[in-house]
Copies of this chain bind each other. A is one copy, B any other.
């Protein structure tokens, strides 16, 4: 017990919450246990987050930002890629990020949590969606599924990537599928989502 003022409680609550979710799932997250773990009174976290839902909303927002960031970083490493190829990079990066951030991804995909979500979350999610939507628009000009609407393609791309990631981070599903991923599987999956027969030009 150092000082009355903790100094960095807000950030440590976030860290501790993620650790707790990693070990015990969102359901296993308890604000009181977090407080106890950080050596702080049971109501202390409540001064940094309006509610438990508010804490989770912030985690979701951060997470969408991180995932979008990971995608942008990876896109930068492929400056000469076609839009269709960039879609593949997005898909594989998204799946890889989810596998490497299971706790965060499980919160993002939790249907309950986002019921009480706030504008900041919507904005972070919208940013992610826009990133993909832009690439789809450009891929369309390259001849990517010309008969299918952009909206359906967007739904397909994001849904497929997220769903595969979910299956990989969701223990029951993962064991049911009996998956054991090798490193190149991420690219293999991306090649299925965005079929290689779609890029003629190069």
Binding site for B on A (CB under 8 A): 25-28, 106, 109-115, 117, 121-122, 125-126, 129, 145, 148, 151-156, 158-173, 175-180, 185, 188-189, 192-193, 195, 197
Which chain B positions have C-beta within 8 A of A106? Answer: 111-112
Which chain B positions have C-beta within 8 A of A192? Answer: 145, 148, 152-153, 156
User: For residue A95, which residue of chain B has the nearest CB?
Assistant: B159
Which chain B positions have C-beta within 8 A of A27? Answer: 112-113, 115
What is the CB-to-nearest-CB distance from A11 to chain B, in angstroms, rounded to a whole number?
25
If A156-B189, A178-B151 touch, whether A172 touches B110 (CB-CB below 8 Å) is: no
User: For residue A170, which residue of chain B has the nearest CB?
Assistant: B111
Q: In the bound complex, do residue B129 and residue A169 qualify as a contact, i.e. CB atoms below 8 Å apart?
A: no
Which chain B positions have C-beta within 8 A of A129? Answer: 176-177
If A115-B27, A163-B163, A195-B195 touch, whether A177 touches B154 (CB-CB below 8 Å) is: yes
Which chain B positions have C-beta within 8 A of A125? Answer: 172-173, 176
User: For residue A192, which residue of chain B has the nearest CB?
Assistant: B156
If A156-B189, A163-B166, A166-B163 touch, whether A151 touches B177 (CB-CB below 8 Å) is: yes
Q: In the bound complex, do residue B159 and residue A163 qualify as a contact, i.e. CB atoms below 8 Å apart?
A: yes
What is the CB-to-nearest-CB distance from A152 to chain B, in angstroms, rounded to a whole number?
6
Can you add 6 more A-B contacts, CB < 8 Å, to A109-B109, A125-B172, A155-B168? A111-B166, A151-B179, A155-B177, A155-B189, A158-B177, A163-B163
Which chain B positions have C-beta within 8 A of A28? Answer: 112
Q: In the bound complex, do residue A148 and residue B112 qualify as a contact, i.e. CB atoms below 8 Å apart?
A: no
